[in-house]
A = this chain, B = another copy of it.
Amino acid sequence: MRDFNEQTITDAVISQFKAEDPRLQQILTSLVKHLHDFIRDVEPTEEEWFKGIQYLTDVGHMCDENRQEFVLLSDTLGVSILVDAINHRADAGMTETTVLGPFHTPHAKPMTHGAQIASAEELAKGTPTVVRGQVTDPDGKPIAGAKVDVWQASSEGLYDVQMGHGEADLRGIFETDADGKFWFRSIKPVAYPIPFDGPVGKMLVATGRHPYRPAHIHYMISAPGYETLITHVFVSGDEYLDSDAVFAVKDSLVADFVAVEDAEAAKQFGYSAPFYEVEFNFGLKPTA
């Protein structure tokens, strides 16, 4: 096993893999084939190859407990949404999925219906909003007791973990009632850039791409007997719906955030007019 040329090296490497786990064997075999095909296609100079090594190293060094630059790279190269599409081939009555993103945390607190998920500081800076939803099975039958984990960015486009104060903010966990319903108060989400002060941001600049994501609220909804639904609800009319930096928009996930001018209505939520209202219904997929 020596003297490989540009073609024979691929089978030589694959022949060395003798994984006990057949799935690992399959994944590495496919990885080496596609990786070598990529190299043969672009024929990198040694300087280009080393730039690639350095780029991956920089991406790795950017990762810490609050920042997952490889997830951002996967997102911005369309890999995350492709993996999502492969794993969630949705049928009628089931809500389409989209990317998890890097900002879900286990720190959201259980809250009661109508709770305000924004801190007083973030609420004061944002546009008051009332969010309602219902969780059903594919036939429209309500699912009671579903766990609805929500999170979103601030009016400045930052998630709590990016603010550096260590407090959970703009996230919460709700449980659906007997009608499968839940509601909470928050602020209207705004479009924001993904973190672009690292290697992924450099890639976006070098390729003439903007880092913006259209405004959205994240949902992770789980209930016994159903697959966990990870999705967003996007704000209709957002200027970035057709150029999301992570390719995650689906028409079925875009909802109208309706302005309410009624002062009396606002008052019952502790808001002053105008405020926004949005409603979205979620269909869960039964587990196989």
- What residues of chain A have their CB less than 8 Å away from a CB belonging to chain B? 1-6, 9-10, 12-13, 16-21, 23-28, 30-32, 34-46, 48-49, 53, 56-57, 59-61, 63, 68, 70-71, 74, 77-87, 203, 206-209, 241-244, 247, 249-251
Contact = CB atoms under 8 A, between A and B. Distances in A.
Copies of this protein in the assembly total 2
A25 B78 CA distance: 16
Contacts of A35: 34, 38, 77, 79
Given A2-B244, A57-B70, A249-B3, A9 B45 contact: no
Contact of A81 (B4, B80, B83): B4
Nearest to A38: B34
Nearest to A21: B206
Given A34-B37, A39-B83, A207-B19, A13 B53 contact: no
18 contacts: A1-B244, A4-B78, A9-B78, A9-B82, A12-B78, A12-B247, A16-B207, A19-B208, A20-B206, A25-B207, A35-B38, A39-B83, A46-B83, A49-B83, A53-B68, A53-B70, A56-B56, A57-B68
Contacts of A87: 45-46
Given A2-B249, A77-B13, A48 B60 contact: no
Contacts of A1: 242-244, 247, 249
A241 B3 CA distance: 11
A26 to B, nearest CB: 6
A53 B80 CA distance: 10
B206 A24 contact: yes
B4 A85 contact: yes
Contact of A70 (B38, B42, B56, B80): B56
Nearest to A55: B70
B53 A241 contact: no
A37 B92 CA distance: 28
A198 to B, nearest CB: 12
Contacts of A70: 53, 56-57, 60
Per CB-CB distance, the 5 closest pairs between chain A and chain B, nearest first, are A60-B60, A18-B208, A13-B78, A34-B38, A2-B249
A281 B82 CA distance: 52
A241 B2 CA distance: 8
Contacts of A30: 38, 41-42
Given A17-B207, A53-B68, 17 more contacts: A1-B244, A2-B241, A10-B78, A13-B77, A18-B208, A28-B207, A32-B78, A34-B38, A36-B79, A39-B82, A40-B82, A43-B86, A49-B79, A53-B71, A57-B63, A60-B61, A60-B63
A255 to B, nearest CB: 14
B26 A85 contact: no
